[in-house]
Amino acid sequence: MPERARRVFGSWDAVVLIALVVVSVAGALAIDGVASPRFWRFVSLEAIPIALIAMPMTLVVITGEIDLSVASVLGLTCSVMGQLWVWGVTSLPLIIVLCVLLGALLGAVNGLFVTGFGLPSLAVTIGTLALYRGLAYVVLGDRAVADYPIGWTTDAVAPIPRTTIPWVILVVAALAVVFGIVLHATPIGRGLYAMGNNAEATRFAGISVRRTKFWLFVATGAMSSLAGVFWTLRFASARADNGLGLELTVVAAVLLGGVSIFGGRGGLVGVLAAVALLGTLRNALQLAYVPANTLTVVTGSLLIASVVGPNAVSLLRARLRRRRAGAAPAASSPR
């Protein structure tokens, strides 16, 4: 196999993509309804908010940080969005702008604690996970705001003409192109990988690690809020407990997509494929009447596989390379 082909097919991205195809085909053959257009509509609707959050999260994890407050940002956004409607704000564009600004602000708080005070993002965002969800209940209590104009909610989930796929997927695709280019083809992206591997050497190369990470948290907050807006409109219901626990689904997708939890490794293609894979698998199993608890077990197992998998793949490749070089497999390299 030519070098380039081996690199493409030997990558973790390819493993996830192939798994996605296998699950789709096997599901379509074995489970009634998976082959239907409606199935893919539901998978898309479910995947959209996860993908929106997973994209900036990919960048955050590549720099060696994490943001666990995303689902709470989503929830607080839903509460505020409901309260804005109650107060009589009737312009949807204005509501969206205010919500995204709110998300950016919440992300900036995370970023400030992490980069300004040098605290570990894991601890900070576990704190804001509780804090933001709490605020969501403060704002809206256990009420649900559900009297949005019917036009808003149907437009939000309207399909692309002559398909069943919601048009919002095009927004996700456009954002994916933007995030993909930033990560893989700009100097900014090069800096992200560098700081994920070695923050000190990155600083010595004239890259402001703290400023970059701050803005990544801001972007993650804003995107989480955007996901919150979509969530509210899709279910036509603004509630404080919207998206409860979604952060684990997002992190699972990012890790399953091949991003190293230690930073410095991974890419956007794998993550988006993993979002699709998790969504397809869940919905297909649901159609097959697999109980919810089993679904959790499957997701958990996949997460473990995602951590073990890339390591196993690179270990295997290293061993093959050594075998080709004709060395004993046990020998370590000379220094």
238-239/144-145 β-pairing: antiparallel
Our CB check for another protein shows the closer of 193 and 217 to be 193
Region binding another protein by CB under 8 A among candidate stretches 100-108, 136-144, 178-186, 239-247: 178-186
CB nearer to another protein: give 178 or 304: 178
> In angstroms, what is the minimal distance from the CB of 194 to another protein?
5
Q: Which residue has the tokens 């109980």?
A: 291
For 37, phi and psi rounded to 5 degrees?
A: -60, -35
Site for another protein in 251-280 (CB under 8 A): 264
The stretch near another protein (CB under 8 A) out of 103-111, 123-131, 202-210, 292-300 is 202-210
Tell me if 210 contacts another protein by CB under 8 A: no
Q: Which of 187, 245, 289, 293 binds another protein (CB under 8 A)?
A: 187
Closest to 211 in 3D by CA, of 106, 111, 70: 111
Least spacing, CB of residue 185 vs another protein, in Å:
5
CB of 10 to another protein, least distance (A): 15
Instruction: Give alpha helix (H) positions in the chain.
Output: 3-9, 12-30, 37-62, 70-86, 92-111, 121-140, 150-156, 168-185, 187-197, 199-204, 209-235, 246-256, 268-287, 292-325
Q: Residues binding another protein: what is the number (CB under 8 A)?
A: 28
Closest Cα partner for 83 from 65, 71, 95?
95
Using CB under 8 A as the binding rule, whether residue 197 contacts another protein is answered as yes
Q: Closest distance between another protein and the C-beta of residue 64, in Å?
A: 12
Q: Give the nearest distance from C-beta 56 to another protein in angstroms.
A: 19
Counting contacts by CB under 8 A, is residue 204 touching another protein? yes
CA angle 280, 286, 290 (to 5 degrees): 125
Place of tokens 């091949």: 258
Closer by beta carbon to another protein, 21 or else 323: 323
| Two tokens, residue 18 | 């192939």
Q: How far apart, in whole angstroms, are the C-alpha atoms of residue 276 and residue 256?
A: 11
Please report whether residue 1 would count as binding another protein according to CB under 8 A: no
Under rule CB under 8 A, residue 212 binds another protein: no
Contact track, another protein, 283-322, x by CB under 8 A:
---------------------------------------x
Tokens representing residue 267 in the block: 């890419």
**Residue among 195, 247, 227 at smallest CA distance from 63:** 195
Q: Which positions lie near another protein, rule CB under 8 A?
A: 181, 185-187, 190-191, 193-194, 197-198, 200-208, 264, 322, 325-327, 331, 333-335
